[in-house]
Structure 1
Amino acid sequence: MGLSLLRTILPSPGFWTQNARVVFSSNMSDTSYLAGARPQAYTDLIAGLVFALLFATVTWSFLDLQATYVVTVGILYAITAYLIASNLPDTLPQPGLGSANRITMARCIGTLCLAGLVTYAESLGTLGRWSIVGLGTGIMLLDGVDGWVARRTGTSTEFGARFDMETDAALMLVLSALVWAEDRTGAWVLLIGAMRYLFLGAGLVLPALRGELAPSFRRKLICVVQGIALLIALGPIIPDFIAVSVSALAMAMLTWSFSIDVVWLLRPRPL
């Protein structure tokens, strides 16, 4: 299950909450793959656990949360690390996870720390809500950095592209859950983060939905709009009607984009 299941049913329409085909460059002509990458990557995963617990502890102290918050983040990280370790390739272009994947790991840890705040969202004060917006913004801004580093160093891999995409999707799911938990909108906002996973599930029933889609500027634009809309909705100074409006707009655009891709994938094909 986990990422292994996702591998069997991707590509799909979009990245972040959409299921686009992940298109990546694998220019490895100047870089030799390193055998035995797993042991060094495990060291990175252990270091990630230390960083996750440290960041969670700082957040716990800063926002005066219950100690269970740190435990929750630790459990979420353990599950994530297991999925990563289960899907590591035998060879990687750099020692350990590599520089680009370490940046993605930092984004992933930030997302897990946000996920741990979902159960506290309604009781957080203004400081806590601004902290959510700040951390979410930082994670989104880093989204292009890992890919840039991979291309710059010639170390793009299928594993790295998948790791990046799953982190993006998880972030959108967590942000939509936070918007709902803060009671800014109705439960329908959860569909913004869940739609991609629903699409993956539909692909198990309808194999045509596992088809390949060409890259699309439309999908990229809507992905950015989703993230911005959810962060706006989470803003403490944003009135509820604006939070509802921007979330509804993001939901409508996402539904429209999915519909285009679903219709294209299910179109009749010549015999």
Structure 2
Amino acid sequence: MSAAPSEPAEGGTEVPPPRPVAQPEPTPVPTLNVANLLTLSRLVLVPLFIAALFAGDGTETFWRATATALFAVASFTDQVDGWVARKYGLITDFGKIADPIADKALIGAALVGLSVLGELAWWVTIVIAVREIGVTLLRFWVIRHGVIPASRGGKAKTMAQIAAITVYLLPLPASANFVGWALMGLALVLTVVTGVDYLVRALKLRALGDRAGTTS
């Protein structure tokens, strides 16, 4: 059924249809916002954490507790900055790239530090480091085609790594070592699985971008 014509006004003149209301353009999100500042603060805490970890030959209870506290605070900012960015619409391309880099800097510093102190096997640190560096390089490899946000698996991997490292950092008795081993084993599995998943997603994004470029 066709729409009824507009009723003519007095004198036979048709009333013009109402003009569409222009939608306001979305306000651009500033790069320097609370969420991104929290991410940058995590990077600032990394050297402080390393200094505390190696103070007193890495064996003094006070400094190990201090290093653990700094690591916990830095890890907490990872949860807060993402929540703030989503809740208040502060998600930026800078944050999507800087957030995982800050995570890798913190996790990498902790793993290398523990391995230098002889408390964590170097092969564990190398496996995780290769995955994290590889993912970072993949991000830059596909950046002109788009940004791949962290997946749920990636977040679970990070949480498992944080939990395992925290247990290793705490000045606990030797009888509690199995807890650290179990958590680190879980972290290793998630690290490898999510690394493969990210590689697949990056290859798909790159292929779609190349295909779009050839057809344009």
TM-score (norm 1): 0.53
Partner of 1:167: 102
Is the contact between residue 184 and residue 244 of structure 1 (CA under 8 Å) also seen in structure 2? no
Match of 2:131 among 160, 170, 195: 195
Letter in 2 for 1:234: L
Say yes or no: does 1:249 pair with 2:170.
no
CA 1:157–1:220: 2 relative to 1, 3 Å:
same
How far is the alpha carbon of 1:231 from its aligned partner? Answer: 1.1
Higher relative contact order (CA 8 A, sep 6+): 1
Q: What does the per-residue CA deviation read over 1:153-200, in whole Å, with 9 as the maximum and x for residues that have no partner?
A: 333211122222211111110121222133222112323244211444
Q: Give the drift of 1:264.
A: 6.7
Equivalent position of 1:131 in the other structure: 66
Shift of 1:236: 0.9
- Structure 2 CA distance for partners of 1:103 and 1:262, relative to 1, 3 Å: closer
Question: 1:237 maps to which residue?
Answer: 172
1:141 aligns with 2:76: yes
- Write out per-residue CA displacement over residues 117-142 of structure 1, whole angstroms, 9 at most, x where no aligned residue: 45547434011111111111111122
For structure 1, the 5+ residue unaligned runs are 1-27, 34-91
Give the whole-Å Cα distance in 2 for the aligned partners of 1:106 and 1:266. Answer: 32
- Residues 93-112 of structure 1: pairs in structure 2 closer than 5 A: 93=30, 97-112=32-47
- Is residue 114 from structure 1 mapped to residue 49 from structure 2 by the alignment? yes
**Whole-angstrom distance in 1 between the partners of 2:134 and 2:156:** 21
Q: Provide the aligned length of Structure 1 versus Structure 2.
A: 177
Aligned equivalents of 1:215, 1:193: Cα separation in 2 = 17
Residue pair 1:30, 1:154 contacting (<8 A) in 2 also: no
**Alignment correspondent of 1:227:** 162
User: Residues 96 and 149 of structure 2 are in contact (CA less than 8 Å); yes or no, is this contact kept in structure 1?
Assistant: no
Q: Is the CA contact 1:129–1:236 (under 8 Å) kept in the aligned structure 2? A: yes
**Which residue identity is paired with 2:74?**
I
**Aligned letter for 1:196?**
E
- The percent identity for this pair of structures is 23
> Structure 1 pair 116/127, CA: closer, same or farther in 2 (3 Å)?
closer
Gaps of 5+ in 2: 1-23, 212-216
CA contact (8 A) 1:104 1:146 kept: yes
Q: Measure the CA separation in 1 of the matches of 2:88 and 2:203.
A: 39
Q: Using the TM superposition, give the Cα deviation of residue 150 of structure 1 relative to its aligned residue in structure 2, in angstroms.
A: 2.8
Q: Secondary structure at the match of 1:142?
A: helix
User: Between Structure 1 and Structure 2, whose CA radius of gyration is higher?
Assistant: 2
**SS of the residue 2:120 aligns to:** coil
TM-score (norm 2): 0.65
**What are the residue-to-residue correspondences of 1:166-185 with 2, within 5 Å?**
166-185=101-120
Measured after TM superposition, the shift of residue 146 of structure 1 is: 1.8
Q: Which amino acid in structure 2 is aligned with residue 250 of structure 1?
A: A
